[in-house]
Chains A and B, each alone.
Chain A
Amino acid sequence: SQTIHQWPATLVQPVGSPLSLECTVEGTSNPNLYWYRQAAGRGLQLLFYSIGIDQISSEVPQNLSASRPQDRQFILSSKKLLLSDSGFYLCAWRASGVPRNEQFFGPGTRLTVL
């Protein structure tokens, strides 16, 4: 069966510091991968999605970036965090080439920027 992991679970970082959040998926190959951000009490905002290694689409201009160095690894990064980057970051995966397949979410990373 497929599982999705996110690391770390929680993170407290000062403004201006760098960021690296990791997402890995097990039990599937060539998944579509997604990064979302959820502000407190708000809906989900799609940040990036990837349909393959080094194929990444950005949905929202910001100081975040994403990379996919391996088939089942998705990284969310920032060079300098802003206060507004605080939130709950969710990674999701979806099987590619399978009809009627949907996105499944990881456990999330709670980021607090102080």
Chain B
Amino acid sequence: GQQLNQSPQSMFIQEGEDVSMNCTSSSIFNTWLWYKQDPGEGPVLLIALYKAGELTSNGRLTAQFGITRKDSFLNISASIPSDVGIYFCAGRRQGGSEKLVFGKGTKLTVNP
């Protein structure tokens, strides 16, 4: 099935650094979501985006819905050790409202 292209696949950073990851698609999406998954747990919704160009923040996290509606990015500022986990982007296509398409995830490691 279709998947989103999420990059990078993994990141190793020092505590305090900023992080940026993105997702791209060949199709237009009308919703972009970002989830975080801690080891052995289910993903938790971080940010939801519904409008092209929308920029939304959740604490140190900021995500944007690309103008072309084919991409989205997530930034984490001033990373801390608890930011460790796998971040997934997900999108919903127009007319496919019951299904989310997921990226393969970005595994983030933060060194204290």
CB of B112 within 8 Å of the partner chain? no
CB of A29 within 8 Å of the partner chain? no
How many A-B contacts if CB must be within 8 Å? 47
Does more than half of chain B's interface fall in helix, strand or loop, or is it mixed? loop
Chain A interface size, as a band, is 20 to 34
Question: For residues 28 through 54 of chain B, which have their beta carbon under 8 Å from a beta carbon of chain A?
Answer: 31, 33, 35, 40-45, 48, 50
- A-to-B contact residues, CB < 8 Å: 32, 41-46, 49, 51, 57, 59-60, 90, 92, 100, 102-108, 110
- B-to-A contact residues, CB < 8 Å: 1, 3, 31, 33, 35, 40-45, 48, 50, 88, 98-100, 102-105, 107
| Pairwise interchain contact B43-A43, C-beta atoms closer than 8 A | no
| Pairwise interchain contact B42-A102, C-beta atoms closer than 8 A | no
| Pairwise interchain contact A104-B45, C-beta atoms closer than 8 A | yes
- Complex contacts, A106 vs chain B, CB 8 Å: 42
| Pairwise interchain contact B100-A43, C-beta atoms closer than 8 A | no
| Pairwise interchain contact B48-A102, C-beta atoms closer than 8 A | yes
| Pairwise interchain contact A100-B48, C-beta atoms closer than 8 A | yes
